[in-house]
Structure formats: structure tokens, C-alpha cells
Structure 1
Amino acid sequence: MRKFLLCLLLLSASLNAFASCYVQLKQTLPDGGVIVFGEYHGTVEAPRFFLDCIREFVAKKEKISVFVELPVTENSLLSNYGAGKIDERALVQSSQWKIEDGRTSVAMLALLRGLRADLAGGRVTSVAGIDQAKGGDYTVRDRDMADNFTTAYRGRGYSMVLVGNLHARLTKGVSWDPNLKPFGMYVRERVGQMVSLDLRYGAGTAWSCTPKCGPDSMGEHLVGVTLPAVPSVEIQHTDEAFDGIWYVGQLNASPPAWLRYPK
């Protein structure tokens, strides 16, 4: 009997993991829209969950475009990589991939690798960076990100966006700048049909530069999580800065991808 109950619990967790991504988001945005995943850079789990969620949408024959927090100046390389014209070694030799802040990690490269297969199969329509070009005015970075996104946005199907969770916020102001207007706030004003999610996780590590680059210990962040047994998405309104949360489990640091392809 105990084994039977355990099997039921495992099955229920598996089903909830699936439902909490596609089903919950589809219920919230039934006719398409923008889904922003606010992450903590430098983990294995966040890019992996993002790809898994995209593939749930793809399995339902939804039209998907993908946007990541890489500079728009990388889009030529991203396009060539996605089309199979260059390999991973060529992609990560860009100076952008030498920045070790987590946006160019092994896990992010694995995300792009997975998306390349979906691009080739016509299951994903595009993959693009939306971040400010290197050397831009940092004080208007979020506005520039929103401009880059809305220029590329086609208003069809679902646009899945992976950015740092400060950019994903829907309210103005952070502790060091009460006037900062985040990317998420700009996009909601311009697009309307949008959901923004804040990351939740169990204790572990993330690759960051604070200031030395390497694995950093991360305490758990489980506020609002009601299903901690499985990675999940929950739409809730306990925090006015977000529409909900996404939970990825225990964190593991993902090192820079270029270290795998030294010149």
C-alpha cells in the first residue's frame, strides 16, 4: 500500500510539473502574449526549466519566439548558430561570452543548443538577444531592452523572454534607485498581454561575480511556493512586482561556456 501511495504521489508531481507551466500560463494568456521569466543568472536549473517550458508549448503546436538577455549585437552570431552556419566554438569566441556574469554560462549554451534543434524543425520561429549594445548608457538600459524587444515583437503566438529578475519587475524602483523603470514595466505598457514571473529556488550555488567570479552560495528563496516537490509555475498576486513565480528546485552553479572552448 505504501509503495502504491508513493507511486501516486510521484505521478501527481509529474503531472503538476507539466500543468504548472503550459496549463497555468495558457489559462492566463489563452490567446498568446509575452511571458517573462525573471531569473538569477549563473545556474544550471533556470535555463533548463525555461527550455522545458518552451517545449511544453511547442508540443501543443503553439507559435514560439524566444528572447534572451544577450546584446542585440550578438544577433548575427545567434542567427548563424541557429541556422547551423557556425558551431558552438565560433559562437562563444565573441567578446560577450568572456563576461562571466552567468548570461553566457554552459547552461545558457545548452539552452541555445536545444533551441537550435527547435529552430531547424520549425517549432520555434526565432531566437534573439534584446540587451543593450555594449558601451550603451546603463541608466537607460531597461528602456533600450524594451525598445529592442518591441521592435522584434510580432504579436503572434507566445514570446518567451529570459532576463534577470530585476529587469522582469512590473513596478518602478529598486533599493538603490527609486526611479528605475524596469524592462517588464515598459513591456506591459506597450504590449498588454503579458505575464512576468519571479524565480524561486532551494539552497545551492550560482556562478556570479561579486566581485570575484565563481560559484556563490545561495540560500533558499521559497516565498510563495506551494509545490516545492517539483519545478513549477504558479500564477499569484502576492507581490505587485510580478504576476507569479517559477520554482526550479535546488540551484547548481553553471560556469562560463567559453572555458569549454579555449582558443
Structure 2
Amino acid sequence: MPDGWEQVAERKPRFVIFGENHGTKEAPKFVGDVACALAAKGEHVLVAVEHDAIHNPAFQAAWSLQPSQFEAALRLAGWKGREDGVTSEAMFQLLVRLHSLKEAGGLISIVAFNGARDEAQRERFKALPGQGPHEAAQAENIRVASRQRRYDHVLVLVGNLHARKREIGREGSTFKPMAMSLAPPDEIVTLNMAAAKGTSWDCVLKPGYKRTADKKIMAGDIECGVHSYSGDGDLRHLPFISLRPLAGISSDENYDGFYWLGNVNGSKPAVPKS
């Protein structure tokens, strides 16, 4: 278990949210370390990952298979064609690692929670402002999965925008991020990723692109690949968690604390587009 987990445990949260910058090797590994350490103590853990909820039935079907069949089945569950870092090799290996531990007797479950799982859910949330429908669907999907069994911990790995505990204003509207809709604040600990320099796999506007209010961004304007990650400082410390302000890391009131990864490295898509 990484240093600092005791600060989280003292609060006895129902949900621990790890906000990440997508596309690093280190963030999924960190969440895997936490999940495996908890399972090693005999605790029942649900790991929620930001894959489309429409593919969750396929995730669950793969989860029930033997190790020799799991990877092939998982690759067919919505990984191909998405290049924003969510479907990275590191994310894939996180699930393979958790499945292996489950097969060895660990009490670990998974859920894919991103976006509306069906048309009925989409319809129920469509009146929310801005990105609110997407955030509300994420939250409900995690909540529903968390009630399927008695879990000691629910660990959520998600882009750090969704992990914020304050409303977000964008393009003339204000919406609640997923963390605000998931549960009361005292049931949640939300952590932002902090790291030194390195790289990440992400999608950015191509060099030289000039953005204007009336210009729609097209697929050809975006470049996906390994890019430099500027970092948040260099603590020269092994990965850890802190719910307390720490010199060298900017305090952010949108989160309860942060998890430190050290240097980061980009992780390419697990299933290439072609």
C-alpha cells in the first residue's frame, strides 16, 4: 500500500476517486497497487474504469472467463478506435492484473461506467445543463455497480475533470462533475494526479492550428501520440498519497488531496486503430 493511504482510511470513504491525466503507465499501475494491497488483506474491492458503459456487459462476460480466454475477450469490448489514453496498454494491463488476482482468490470486481448505458438513462438526464448528462450517468453507473455486492472499497479511475468536487463552468453553462453526483461529500475522497516530468499518450491540436470561435475542430486537426508532460514539480519521492498541503505541490480545492507518481511515461493504445 502506498504511503499516505492511512490518511484516506481514517475518513472511511465509500468511494476513493483517482483523477488522472489519461495516457500514462503510472496512474493505472498506482490504482492497481492499491486494489491489490486491499484485496491481499481480504477486503472486497470494486474498481471502476472510464470505459463506455455500453460495453460493461462485455467486460463482465470477459471477467467470468479463464485467464487463457480473458485477454482476447476483453480486447473486443470497445478498445479499438479510441486513442485518448483511456484504452491504453497500461489500462489493459491493469485489468489483466486484477483478473489474475481474482482468479487466485482475490475479492475484486470491475465496472465500465463511462456515459449513458442505454437510451432510457440518456433520456432521464438530458435536461441537465452542459456536460451534466454525461457526468450524472457516470455517477449513477458507479453507484448501481457499488450496490450489487457488499464492497469494502470502491476505487474509481477517471479523468481528473470528472473527479472534481466543485461545479465547472464551460461555454456559458455550469454543471456538476461526476464526483459531486456520486454520493455525499463525506462518503468520497477524491485525489488529483501529481507527477514529475515525462510523457503521456494523448490527443492534442496539431502544431500551427489556429482556433477560432466559429471554426469546428475536425478529426484531421487532432494528433494523437506520445507528448511531453510538463509535470507538477519534482518531489524526488516514491509514489504516495497526501490529503494535506505539501511544499512543492500546488494546493487545489477541487480535490481532497493528491497522489504522487514521480516521473511518468506515455502508454500507447492497447488495440491500434488499424
Matches within 5 A, 1:36-185: 36-84=17-65, 86-133=69-116, 139=131, 140-154=133-147, 156-174=151-169, 176=171, 179-185=174-180
Distance, in Å, in 2 between the alignment partners of 1:40 and 1:129 is 18
Cα deviations by residue, 1:183-214 (Å, 9 ceiling, x for unpaired): 0111133x741100000001111111112110
Matches within 5 A, 1:180-219: 180-189=175-184, 192-210=186-204, 211-219=222-230
Cα deviations by residue, 1:129-170 (Å, 9 ceiling, x for unpaired): 111148966831001101111111226311011000000000
Distance, in Å, in 1 between the alignment partners of 2:78 and 2:15 is 30
Q: What secondary structure, in the 3-state scheme, does the structure 1 residue paired with 2:271 have?
A: helix
Distance, in Å, in 1 between the alignment partners of 2:77 and 2:265 is 25
Distance, in Å, in 2 between the alignment partners of 1:42 and 1:233 is 20
Q: What secondary structure, in the 3-state scheme, does the structure 1 residue paired with 2:161 have?
A: helix
Which residue type is aligned with residue 257 of structure 2? G
The 1:177/1:41 distance shift into structure 2, 3 A limit, reads farther
State which drifts further: 150-159 or 179-188: 150-159
Which residue type is aligned with residue 257 of structure 1? A
User: Which TM-score applies when normalising by structure 1?
Assistant: 0.82
Which residue type is aligned with residue 223 of structure 2? K
Distance, in Å, in 2 between the alignment partners of 1:97 and 1:244 is 33
The aligned counterpart of 2:219 is none
The 1:146/1:217 distance shift into structure 2, 3 A limit, reads same
Cα deviations by residue, 1:104-147 (Å, 9 ceiling, x for unpaired): 10000000001101222342341011111489668310011011
Q: Is the CA contact (8 Å cut-off) linking 2:241 and 2:260 kept in structure 1? A: yes
Distance, in Å, in 2 between the alignment partners of 1:213 and 1:244 is 30
Cα deviations by residue, 1:74-133 (Å, 9 ceiling, x for unpaired): 112211222225432332234443201111100000000011012223423410111114
Q: What secondary structure, in the 3-state scheme, does the structure 1 residue paired with 2:162 have?
A: helix
Q: Percent identity?
A: 30
More helix by share: 1
Distance, in Å, in 2 between the alignment partners of 1:46 and 1:163 is 10
Gaps of 5+ in 1: 1-16
CA RMSD of aligned residues (A): 2.4
Q: Is the CA contact (8 Å cut-off) linking 2:25 and 2:90 kept in structure 1? A: yes
Q: Is the CA contact (8 Å cut-off) linking 1:202 and 1:250 kept in structure 2? A: yes
The 1:94/1:157 distance shift into structure 2, 3 A limit, reads closer
The 1:54/1:94 distance shift into structure 2, 3 A limit, reads closer
* Offset of residue 174 of structure 1: 4.4
User: Which TM-score applies when normalising by structure 2?
Assistant: 0.79
Q: What secondary structure, in the 3-state scheme, does the structure 2 residue paired with 1:230 have?
A: coil
Distance, in Å, in 1 between the alignment partners of 2:77 and 2:143 is 25
Q: What secondary structure, in the 3-state scheme, does the structure 1 residue paired with 2:168 have?
A: coil
The aligned counterpart of 1:250 is 263
Q: What secondary structure, in the 3-state scheme, does the structure 1 residue paired with 2:86 have?
A: coil
Distance, in Å, in 2 between the alignment partners of 1:27 and 1:51 is 21
Gaps of 5+ in 2: 205-221, 246-250
